[in-house]
Amino acid sequence: MRKILFIFTFLFLTITGIKAQELQCMVQISSPGMSETDRQVLQTLQSSIYEFMNQRNWTEYQYKPEERIEASILITINEKIGSDEYRGTIQVQSRRPIFRTSYSSPIINHNDRDLSFRYVENQTLEYADNTFTSNLSSVLAFYAYLIIGFDFDTFSPMGGTPYFEKAQSIVNLAQNAPERGWKSFEGQRNRYWLMENIFNSQYTSIRQALYTYHRLGFDRMTDNMDMARSEVVNAIEMFQRVHRQRPGSYLMSIIMTTKGDELVNIFTEAPAMEKNQVVQILTEIDPANSARYRRITQPRN
């Protein structure tokens, strides 16, 4: 009896101690022009990155399997430098389910062109908070926290702050790294400036708008489509106010890249007056894609 009780207690503690990881992240490495040997090495790396992203606990929360954040990473290797150094890009995407629907709304769609790293086949990807161990693991951890931070922002106002702080810490630790993407003087659109925008008080309304857009807007569309859509209009008006104060924000450009097609789809069915209002705002914020937004007012076949 005592033995049975011991086994039951052990199993209970084991099960309750398990935390479901936060991310359900698909990983793909594309290596056009690489040799067959290099492609085999990179295939091993792809598996290692998958484990790194999906089998690590990034927060203190316990996620159910169905609550894990859906994401994807596409690494494109453009060139090999030396025997074990690669250079390319990393595209990061994530999405969020909309309440009582089968639809998932895109949260991030970002292509980072400053990726370089060293990797030897079967090398372990090591990472610890407050330590810069390698550029690859730091970039991956940075985007893991970014994905989680934006996801939390859509469920509660500024809810992603603790995870953005983790991402900011990685940027700070990488200031002496030789690889590009971490430092202010390397360009206006890199990881440094993304975090600067996220924590800049002049851009706070962008993050607050993400909550309005998703929790007050999209999540309520099955209850009342017109009211939900009006909340989405409120959100893009918040974007507009930020744009008028500080045009050309890196964070805003990422949001518009992510949300552009979705906004076209939702407002195609809106009343004419609302369509015109939305097109005017979106073309002001994102003039380079004005032709896309004008599709909102075009007759559907």
**Per-residue pLDDT tens for 151-167?**
999 999 999 999 999 99
Identify whether 131 is part of a domain.
Answer: yes
Give the model's confidence band at 301: pLDDT under 50 very low, under 70 low, under 90 confident, else very high. low
Identify whether 7 is part of a domain.
Answer: no
Q: Let me know the angle formed at the C-alpha of 47 by 45 and 48, rounded to the nearest 5 degrees.
A: 60
Identify whether 42 is part of a domain.
Answer: yes
- The number of distinct structural domains making up the chain is 2
Place of tokens 């290797």: 77
15 by Cβ neighbours in 10 Å (0-12 / 13-18 / 19+) ranks as exposed
Q: Are residues 23 and 111 in the same domain?
A: yes
User: Hey, what are 209's tokens?
Assistant: 């708008």
Domain assignment of residue 47, given as a range: 18-199
DSSP state of 296: G
Render 200-245 in DSSP notation, one character per residue.
-GGGHHHHHHHHIIIIIIGGGTTT-HHHHHHHHHHHHHHHHHHHHH
Using the 3D structure, point to which of 164, 199, 234 is the last residue of a domain.
199
* pLDDT above 70 as % of the chain: 93
pLDDT at position 175: 97
Using the 3D structure, point to which of 184, 199, 214 is the last residue of a domain.
199
Q: Are residues 213 and 180 in the same domain?
A: no
pLDDT per position as a tens digit, 13-42: 333 344 568 999 999 999 998 999 999 999
Q: Are residues 162 and 76 in the same domain?
A: yes
Using the 3D structure, point to which of 159, 181, 199 is the last residue of a domain.
199
pTM: 0.92
